[in-house]
Amino acid sequence: MSGHSKWSTIKHKKAAKDARRGKQWAKLIRQIEVAAREAGTADTDASPSLALAVQKAKDAEVPKDTIERACKRGAGELDGASTYEATQYEGYAPGGVAVLVDCLTDNRNRTASDIRSAFSKSGGNLAEPGSVSFLFSRRGQVLVEANGHSEDDLMLVGLDAGLEDLEHEGEQYTAWCDPSDVPGLRKAFEDGGFTIVQAGSTMVPASVVPIAEAAEARKVLRLLDTLDDNDDVQDVYANFDIPEDLIDSIED
């Protein structure tokens, strides 16, 4: 899990920059439109998936009126919604790192070409469907600001709300649970006075691939960054494990 958590941390830092933030917002709005279209309504109370997409947008500080318009476009109450198709790509980064790429696209051929090019330029390669995905399992997670709280503090609140495991890295905790328990666990933490960074589900690798060489680590992170920068890419999951000091030296 450590490798995946580190990539999440890297992305969170990048998202703080204005350009990254705008791109992140666009992806979240796309998720809302798709969820609203599938639900056939702009009412979050009628669709758990739409409620989750809206909450993710709120966590990223997307303006309320922007969220509401996205819900209405997706539900057909406003014009201007695009028709997006969900697709997933699997591949390997340098060093044998397994990579899953989730996309929402209105042009499958364009997206496939972009993803293939990203892997090829990094020294990686696309793989056949199913050859990578079995290495990952979906889990729910709630990221909580530490703010001086101990693990016992979170355990006391979370165990009755579906908390399965807890990790402490940097200034935040990652609370793991079944994906269906995310809303309840989030509410339990909020009611307990904890500050939520974000909540949702993610793909967690069964094992990680250690990367110790700077050149190889740079190639892996460059590939993930290129993929994440693509407008059609919603999420990127990888099973690398790069030492923190090596990541810091590359970023510097």
Domain parsing of the chain, residue ranges: 2-75, 85-134+209-251, 136-205
- Assigned CATH topology for domain 136-205: Alpha-Beta Plaits (3.30.70)
**Which pLDDT score, from 0 to 100, does residue 23 have?**
84
Q: Which residue has the higher pLDDT, 167 or 10?
A: 167
Which pLDDT band holds residue 2 (cuts at 50, 70, 90)?
Answer: very low
CATH, range 85-134+209-251: 3.30.70.980
Please check the confidence at residue 124 and state whether its pLDDT lies above 90.
Answer: yes
**Which pLDDT score, from 0 to 100, does residue 79 have?**
87
Report which secondary-structure segment, H or E, holds 35.
helix 18-39
pLDDT (mean) for 214-236: 91
Total residues belonging to the chain: 252
**Which pLDDT score, from 0 to 100, does residue 245 have?**
80
Identify the bridge partners of residue 141 per DSSP, sorted by sequence position: 176, 200
- What are the angstrom distances between the C-alpha of 58 and each of 105, 198, 212, 229? 23, 9, 37, 21
CATH, range 2-75: 1.10.10.200
pLDDT (mean) for 150-158: 95
Neighbour tally for 247: CB within 10 Å: 19
Q: Is it true that 2-75 and 136-205 share their CATH fold?
A: no
pLDDT (mean) for 76-89: 89
**Which pLDDT score, from 0 to 100, does residue 82 have?**
80
